[in-house]
Structure 1
Amino acid sequence: MSRWYVYLARCADDSLYCGIALDVAERVAAHNAGTGAKYTAPRRPIHVLLVRRCADKGLALRLEYAIKQLNRPQKEALVAAPAGLEAIARRLRRERFGMQKSHRRV
């Protein structure tokens, strides 16, 4: 099973970019070469701030989506306290396996 990673990076214009990759170093090199995402090409170089390993691509995609839904101060808070990212990942895993509090059997 391949391991996927979610990463949060700061672009040269100080914007934040979130993505997923099997190899973060390779993906960042692609971004910095201008061959990565369309968003990062004019905003390079980018610098990785945060990386989280995920068990599968599905979790990586859900975590990436959850991060992209956050506003900038919330993303900056994740960088300052990465435990927040772990909390989001735990919530996503619980939701994935139907273990939400309101749906548990007694």
Structure 2
Amino acid sequence: MAWMYILQCADGSLYVGSTLDLSRRIAEHQYGEGSAYTAARLPVALLYCEEFDRVDDAFRREEQIQGWGRAKRLALVAGDLKAVSRLSKKRFT
């Protein structure tokens, strides 16, 4: 199985990643070995994850969510699909 995940860093920022082994990857992040970004913002906490049959699907989902703003990511974490949809709409001024 493959995973897409969202971590919250100690500074409150959100990190999005994907992996084949979620527990190992979270441990790597906690030990400062996961990425330079999270290593500078320890500790981290797992906020959200999605499971996929294929790693390329998890990676595509990671890329999609990396393009989202903070509010939309937090709406996903909260399970507020109406807010995710609302935050997806373009705003014209």
TM-score tier by shorter-chain length is 0.7 to 0.9
Structure 1 residues not aligned, in runs of 5+:
88-106
Structure 2 residue aligned with 1:74? 72
Q: Give me the whole-angstrom Cα distance separating, in 2, the residues matched to 1:37 and 1:53.
A: 21
Structure 2 residues not aligned, in runs of 5+:
86-93
CA-based RMSD of the aligned residues comes to 1.7
TM-score (norm 1): 0.73
Q: Give me the whole-angstrom Cα distance separating, in 2, the residues matched to 1:29 and 1:44.
A: 12
Moved segments of 4+, more than 2 Å: none
Percent of pairs with identical residues: 36
Alignment partner for residue 5 of structure 1, among 3, 6, 9?
Answer: 3
User: What residue identity is the alignment partner of 2:28?
Assistant: A
User: What residue identity is the alignment partner of 1:47?
Assistant: A
Q: Give the number of the structure whose alpha-carbon radius of gyration is greater.
A: 1
Alignment partner for residue 58 of structure 1, among 50, 56, 59?
Answer: 56
Shift of 1:64: 0.1
Shift of 1:83: 5.4
Aligned residues: 83
TM-score (norm 2): 0.83
User: What residue identity is the alignment partner of 1:81?
Assistant: G
Structure 1 residue aligned with 2:18? 20
Does the Cα contact within 8 Å between 1:50 and 1:82 map onto a contact in 2? no
Shift of 1:71: 0.3
Structure with the higher fraction of residues in strand conformation: 2
